[in-house]
A and B are shown apart, each in its own frame.
Chain A
């Protein structure tokens, strides 16, 4: 009896996935748990192991195709085993249509391949065509350019980012406030920690995450989300850190950031960032954040106005660290300065609370996170 491999559900909100690469060909022998193919979801790329040992009898879904969770991807069985004559997922999706679907496709001169099927075995339903028409109308509403150019197809990640950002600005009234902190204490302490932990890469981001997490403990209203029936305060502080990728952006989450000492934070940040860039995050490592930090300063940006990562209540943007002339005790001196932008959901909190949160956060930075030093020493 051959084993069917289905598109796995790689996390709570994941409904579809794209086959990016088959690591085996039809007819190849495979071991149980041996990597069989790579899948892209809107969150991450993942290798899928074979559910059984045997021979890869049939591949149902080709590279580059996007199918719903539960769709059969491949059949694994004994060599020479009779493959049951059955419609592959692809054949069902582009095969025969119901009269209602056939009529709609003809009326609107649509190619069935452009419509995603939600029916049994990927069948296109009337509602699928109607939804496709509705989305097409929306998409074509602005006059399409007739000048020479090319259309880049949307990757799942691009589509996901677009959905999230549009949802964010459409639902939350957002205010951005800008603050400035002196990073001298952080840089001084970094030297100490580098000496204590040779081989560990320390960046100021670790201090910023630590100071943010501690400020979230003091001001839980920023570690919250707006809901129809009230403001939900998270009891845990999971800080997401936006990481730029070639094709977009991903936000790995440092879980329980408030419980980690600086060396552990530095290690977690380096690990997540490296694996995010290599596309090796597990789906659950890029979700569940309660607050987000965007370190656009790494690219040279001084001041930004980040958009909230919904449904969170706020996001902190970090500008480039720069030696700047500032006045200290009546004299002009050069200090390592950094602008911070806090964008918050004005439904959840007001400016005064944002100020208090940032005072707390920057106080931690300017004191070099002494509390964390103590925690680490214990």
Chain B
């Protein structure tokens, strides 16, 4: 058992994957000699060499394109997009090629590709370093979207994503990289994308979140228990696509109330999908409106710190939303 930050757990998983499977290689901007801008790949270039830890040119389309080609050739590429904000040039490769290859070839060709993407708001990040992109890609059939919120999950889900024969977008909360710590077992089985995690069991309302917001949700739920006697169930979705619908429906059939928290913009965010699912399949269990707490519909996380705090939901905002819905 070791105490790790989120970024350490990711580095640990990459190291293990490179050591265990000769087909695994990683590529991206500055991931080689520099060890990645967040140090996710630090030391790996020295350990595994330039053929397996491969610096790429500044072309996201190229990084993903190389990954798709290598995956079709039965390698196990792990691509890094330096910031989610830069993923858009690769949109066609991901959406048009990787996600649809299996369908297009009638099951003949698989794309066992992992794309690691640091996402989300971080103070001082501004326009080009703060985007959340899960909803853009969750709309696309054929892609899996994984968003771990604990070091243990980050490590075993990254192994699971590499094992998965489908393209997986592995979203990493960069604000949580060093903020989130946790115990990671010495040995742990890989976790394939899919199941949600009941981070805290409760009966008064269900709180759905992922990534950094799942971490904050647990903090807020503990305070709600301590300060208000409210017993909140926190469901860390971990995988957005395919969504663990059973866990979502089971939780709300127990509590009757649902709150979704995400740092992506509110409109057409993934919270809308959960709200729709609940209204569709758990209508008679609902004892209140399905509420969303999300970043406002503005183009970027503000650079100004005060406005940044207004933009990004935090434990205080989540607690207020819990109290509001519980009182309904």
Contacts and interface: CB of A to CB of B under 8 A. Distances in A.
B220 to A, nearest CB: 20
A335 to B, nearest CB: 59
Nearest to A102: B284
A100 B287 contact: yes
B69 interface: no
B48 interface: no
Interface in B281-317: 283-288
B256 A123 contact: no
A101 B288 CA distance: 10
B328 A99 contact: no
**Chain B at the A interface: mostly helix, strand, loop or mixed?**
loop
A100 B285 contact: yes
B327 interface: yes
A119 interface: yes
A125 B286 CA distance: 10
The residue among A98, A101, A125 with the most chain B CB atoms within 10 A of its own CB is A98
B327 A126 contact: no
B327 A99 contact: no
A119 B286 contact: no
B284 A126 contact: no
A158 interface: no
Contacts of B327: 119-120
A126 B256 contact: yes
A120 B287 contact: no
B284 A119 contact: no
Contacts of A103: 284
Contacts of A119: 327-328
B288 to A, nearest CB: 6
Contact of A123 (B283, B286, B328): B328
B287 A126 contact: yes
A119 B286 CA distance: 14
Contacts of A102: 284
B154 to A, nearest CB: 36
B284 A100 contact: yes
Interface residues of A, number: 12
A98 B283 CA distance: 9
The residue among A123, A125, A127 with the most chain B CB atoms within 10 A of its own CB is A125
B328 A101 contact: no
Nearest to B253: A100
Interface in A97-141: 98-103, 119-120, 123, 125-127
Contacts of A99: 283-287
Nearest to A106: B284
A119 B327 CA distance: 6
Contacts of B287: 98-101, 125-127
A211 B283 CA distance: 66
Nearest to B255: A126
A126 B256 CA distance: 8
A103 B287 CA distance: 10
Nearest to A118: B327
Contacts of B285: 99-100
A48 B68 CA distance: 77
Interface in B3-24: none
Contacts of A101: 287
A116 to B, nearest CB: 16
A249 to B, nearest CB: 33
A99 B286 CA distance: 6
Contacts of B288: 98, 125
Contacts of B286: 98-100
Interface in A41-74: none
Given A98-B288, A100-B256, A120 B283 contact: no
Interface string B248-284: 0000000010000000000000000000000000011
Contacts of B256: 98, 100, 125-126
A314 to B, nearest CB: 33
Interface of B: 256, 283-288, 327-328
Closest 7 CB pairs of A and B: A126-B287, A100-B287, A103-B284, A98-B287, A126-B256, A100-B256, A99-B286
18 contacts: A98-B256, A98-B288, A99-B283, A99-B285, A99-B286, A99-B287, A100-B284, A100-B285, A100-B286, A102-B284, A119-B327, A119-B328, A123-B328, A125-B256, A125-B288, A125-B328, A126-B256, A127-B287
Given A99-B286, A102-B284, A119-B327, 20 more contacts: A98-B256, A98-B287, A98-B288, A99-B284, A99-B285, A99-B287, A100-B256, A100-B284, A100-B286, A101-B287, A119-B328, A120-B328, A123-B328, A125-B256, A125-B287, A125-B288, A125-B328, A126-B256, A126-B287, A127-B287
